Amino acid sequence: MDIAANYLPSGDCALLRQVLQYLPNTEVQNVLRKITGFKYIILTEHLPIGDFIPNKDVILGQGIRLKKGSG
């Protein structure tokens, strides 16, 4: 399933484990809009150690934010 493009089924809880780090910022925004209807959201992502610039944009399929020193 393409979480950014496809319809998400309804439910009480959305679990996203290390998903958003792979998506361009525009697709992250689409996903966030879709999950606002859930009562609970559990979201995990990698964060670089130390200071970093958050949310550097990535090109789909070309790595993750962590490799760019972002999270």
Residue 3: its pLDDT value, please?
A: 87
Q: What is the pLDDT of residues 16-65, one digit of tens each?
A: 999 999 999 999 999 999 999 999 999 999 889 999 999 999 998 888 89
pLDDT over threshold 80, residue 1: no
Q: What is the pLDDT of residues 2-19, one digit of tens each?
A: 888 888 898 999 999 999
User: For every residue of the chain, which 3-state class applies, written as one string?
Assistant: CCCCCCCCCCCCEEEEECCHHHCCHHHHHHHHHHHCCCCEEEEECCCCCCCCECCCCCCCCCCCHHHHCEC
The residues spanned by each domain of the chain are 13-68
- Give yes or no for a contact between 58 and 65, defined as CB atoms under 8 angstroms apart: yes
Give the predicted TM-score (pTM) of the model: 0.84
